Amino acid sequence: MPNYECVFIARQDVPSGQIESLTNQFASVISENGGRVAKTEYWGLKSLAYRIKKNRKGHYILLNLDSPYDAVAEMERRMRLHEDVLRHLTLRVETLEEGPSVMMQARATRDTGRGGRGGRERGERGERGDRDRGDRDRDRGDRGDRDRGERGDRDRDRGEREPAAQAEGA
């Protein structure tokens, strides 16, 4: 039988107990039509990239299926009719994944599996010798709009002048 991965997103205000019964309801559709659910995973309540039917978050659920196309088509039909399901996507795959999916793995193991940061510490940028810096490499010289002298000129302007009465009397 063909293998499928199905991910669906349920509304954010659905309680977790109802999420389990919703998942079991879709799994029973598959088993009634001659297929089997190899694995179910609850990925949690996650933020959506954009609002879907006035929802900003959704419960993500993965179903790995080993079933005929008719069972998958019936499950998708019921997902379209169910008001708690915001979106669903079913893909045919060659083989089903063993163990936890990528979403369920720890973030640290995902990063090291892809190469991570290449052994660099966070914040280290390394050499960027391939970039053309243009005029930014050269000294731009004195801008001319500022006096780069000592602070004495500024102190005199701030009020260390003689009071007007003393200046007139002298």
In words, the CATH class of domain 3-95 is alpha beta
Q: Which helix (H) or strand (E) holds 35?
A: none
Q: Does residue 81 surpass a pLDDT of 70? A: yes
Chain center to CA of 4: 25
pLDDT tens column, 13-63? 999 889 999 999 999 999 999 999 999 999 889 999 999 999 999 999 999
